[in-house]
Chains A and B, each alone.
Chain A
């Protein structure tokens, strides 16, 4: 039996909605599991990405850890796919780009309604926030883009089938959605 295709997935500045949509391929997951093995992913709890065939990136880039993870994925994955609106254009988290970062932190942790024990988190373990949330193609080379908020299960299925078979994915009109 041929070696299984290795796939890694991660959610950067995302909501895991794209991962949930991926799981919506339902019983097709079993077919996928026959030919695919998951490396780093929320599904496996593997901490660092090893050499992979396909990397799926959900979410944009909002902090220094996102940058490190994205670069790790790029250096280990033969094919890197930006998954969903946030990875492609920053999406919902990028709405903070229209405010000063300081104002966002003050609102969330100090001045906001119902904040208990107000203090801005500054533990050295915490990754530093970037000034602006950026789409992933501005940081590393991205091979394919999977639009949608989230991309539907059928989009995941169509894309993965094409990539596994070594074809360029081709989405029919009704599967291309930015929302």
Chain B
């Protein structure tokens, strides 16, 4: 099925099998995410991409796009929730950007910058987590793991290896390595594996590559992640930029929690969905 859905008043076309987040990204509309990665099966753990679809809360990375959906993403309520989620990620792990090699290339940091997040709001856990520097080429700093499952999926789906897994629940949740000792050096991972390169934070790093790009010349130093993520998608899809706006006032209309937002939307030309 293909058609058009309406995201924050913009008519976004989608093709067969696309999720809302991918349809949006391809059209140049950024919905924040961390556990999602184009070309990977949806996972839906980080909840940053939470949107309202026809008035109901859903994760945009797992919900298939459907013709005529009305999606609200950039509302003050949802942006507030996203900042709180990001702050929870920061206090749950140990994210000290000044001492992290990934700073400037880090998606977690970039998402926080995009939200103009200035503090961590919650009390810090200062969780006690291990560092695994056993492998000659790859380092795991568990302090920075946000359990996005991307390395797990990469190793299984792309590398055919199953090097990583997530064990435990709640505060005991942790990234584990499939090897007799539990150390990375005794696993099947190779530095050429996709699993060594998909980490959105500085948890899995390729050694001796940290400062190839100096601070100040890194991905998010001058461009917010909203631009970086969408420019790539627009290039990948070869899509034209600039989509017509759609009539956001049709939904929600029941005086629900988002009606105040719908009321603040600028009047849009009446374009019928599904053309």
Contacts and interface: CB of A to CB of B under 8 A. Distances in A.
A173 B113 contact: yes
Given A89-B90, A90-B126, A138-B124, A179 B97 contact: yes
Interface stretch (A4-12, A29-37, A115-123, A144-152): A144-152
Nearest to B113: A176
Interface string B63-98: 000000000000000000000000000100011111
Interface string B175-208: 0000000000000000000000000000000000
B126 A132 contact: yes
B96 A95 contact: yes
A160 to B, nearest CB: 15
A92 B96 CA distance: 8
A94 interface: yes
A135 B96 contact: no
B89 to A, nearest CB: 13
Contacts of A174: 221-222
A149 B97 contact: yes
Interface bin, chain B = 20 to 34
B103 A179 contact: yes
Interface string A156-176: 000000000000000101101
Contacts of A149: 97-98
B142 to A, nearest CB: 12
Interface string B27-47: 000000000000000000000
B171 interface: no
Contact of A89 (B100, B113, B116, B124): B124
B118 interface: yes
B119 A88 contact: yes
B254 interface: no
Interface string A70-96: 000000000000100100111110110
A149 B103 CA distance: 12
Given A98-B126, A132-B126, A88 B116 contact: no
Contacts of A147: 118-119
B18 interface: no
B96 A98 contact: no
A91 B116 contact: no
Name the prevailing secondary structure of the A interface residues: mixed
Nearest to B120: A89
Contact of B97 (A82, A142, A178): A178
**Most chain A Cβ neighbours within 10 Å, of B94, B95, B98, B215:** B98
Contacts of B118: 88, 144-147, 171, 176
B267 interface: no
A135 B97 contact: no
Give the interface centre of A92, A137, A142 by most chain B CB atoms within 10 Å: A137
A97 interface: yes
A144 B118 CA distance: 8
B94, B95, B119: most-surrounded residue (chain A CB, <10 A):
B119
B99 interface: yes
A137 B90 CA distance: 15
Given A98-B126, A145-B118, A179-B100, 5 more contacts: A85-B97, A94-B126, A134-B124, A135-B120, A135-B124
Interface of B: 90, 94-100, 103-104, 109, 112-113, 116, 118-121, 123-124, 126, 128, 215, 221-222, 224
Interface of A: 82, 85, 88-92, 94-95, 97-98, 132, 134-135, 137-138, 142, 144-147, 149, 171, 173-174, 176-179
27 contacts: A85-B97, A85-B98, A88-B118, A90-B126, A92-B96, A92-B99, A94-B96, A94-B126, A95-B96, A135-B120, A137-B120, A138-B123, A138-B124, A147-B118, A171-B116, A171-B118, A173-B224, A174-B222, A176-B116, A176-B118, A177-B97, A178-B97, A178-B103, A179-B97, A179-B98, A179-B103, A179-B215
